[in-house]
Amino acid sequence: MEPGDDTDETSDVRVEPVGSGALLVVLGTEQDEAVRGRVRGLDEALTAEPVPGQVEVVPALVDLLVVFDPLVTDHAAVAGVVRRRLRTAARPPRTAREHRVQVCYHERLAPDLAAVAEAVGLSTEAVVAAHLAGDYDVAMYGFVPGYAYLDGLDASIEVPRKEAAVPGVPAGSVIVARSQTIVTSVTLPTGWSVLGRSPTRVLRPDDDEPFLFDVGDRVTFERIDLATFERLGTGT
C-alpha cells in the first residue's frame, strides 16, 4: 500500500498508514454535514462489527483513526476491510442521544461573560440567550480525558482564544472559543472564555460509563440560578 494514492473509486476517501498499528481514514476535507455523517457511519459500522485485530476507533471531524494490533493484522488487510465497509455501510447513523445540561451563568461563576459581551457588542443577557439557543453536536473528544468539543455555537458570540491560558479553571466550567463550547471535565488551565458553570459531571471517573457524551450525541443547555446550582452541587 502506498500512502496518499489509495483513492476509492466511489469517493475521495483516502486511507493513510499511521506508524506501526493504525490507519487514518480521511472522508473529506470540509467540516460539513455530509462528511460528518460519513465519519459517524463508519464509526458505527466498525464499532458494531470490528475488523479482525481492531483495538479501537477514534472519530474526529473529517477523519477517523482505526488502531489495530500489528501482531494480528497489518495496514493493507485493515484498509481492505475498511473499504468494503465504506461501500456496504450505507446505513444511516444511529439516532443521536440527546442530553440536557444545566448551566448557571451567574457572574460569580462566569468570569469572562462580560468580556465576551463587550467583544461581540452584545449585552451579557444576549450572550447567555445565544449560548442557550444552540442545539449542539458532540463533534469529537480531545485535549484531555472527557473534553468533548460541542459544535453549533451561535456565530454572534464567537470569540478567539485568549492570548494566554488562565490556570486552574474548575471542572464543570462552560467555556467557549471560536465556534465551539465545552463543559470541562477536569480542573486545568484554559485559554477559552468561561461563560458559566454546570453542576453536571461530564466525566464521572468511578462510574461504569464514565463519559456522559459519545461522539454524535446532541446537547442543549438549560439555565439555572445560583441557588439551584449550589443545591445541585458545588461545581468544584
Q: Which residues bind another protein (CB under 8 A)?
A: 1, 3-4, 16-22, 24, 26, 31, 55-65, 67, 70-71, 74-76, 140-149, 185-186, 188, 205, 210-211, 214-215
Contact 75, 61 (CB under 8 A): no
C-alpha torsion 144→57→139→206, nearest 10:
-50
Q: Which of 106/143 has CB closer to another protein?
A: 143
Distance CA 108, CA 219 (A): 24
CA angle 87, 72, 62 (to 5 degrees): 40
181 versus 185: smaller Cβ distance to another protein: 185
Minimum Å gap between C-beta 35 and another protein is 9
Nearest distance in Å: CB 231, another protein: 27
Which CB atom, from 61 or from 113, has the smaller least distance to another protein? 61
HSE on the CB side for 142, CA within 13 Å? 10
- Residue whose CB is less far from another protein, 130 or 137: 137
Least distance between another protein and beta carbon 26 (Å):
8
Q: Give the nearest distance from C-beta 135 to another protein in angstroms.
A: 21
SS3 26: strand
Reduced to 3 states, what is the DSSP secondary structure of residue 224?
strand
Q: Could you identify the residue written with the cell 476517501?
A: 13
Closest distance between another protein and the C-beta of residue 152, in Å? 16
Residue 18: CB minimum distance to another protein, A = 5
Sign of the torsion angle spanned by Cα atoms 57, 13, 138, 115? positive
Q: Which is nearer to another protein, 125 or 207 (CB)?
A: 207
Number of Cβ within a 10 Å radius of residue 123: 11
Output 54 or 229, the one with its CB closest to another protein.
54
SS (H, E, C) 32-76: CHHHHHHHHHHHHHHHHCCCCCEEEEEECCCEEEEEECCCCCCHH
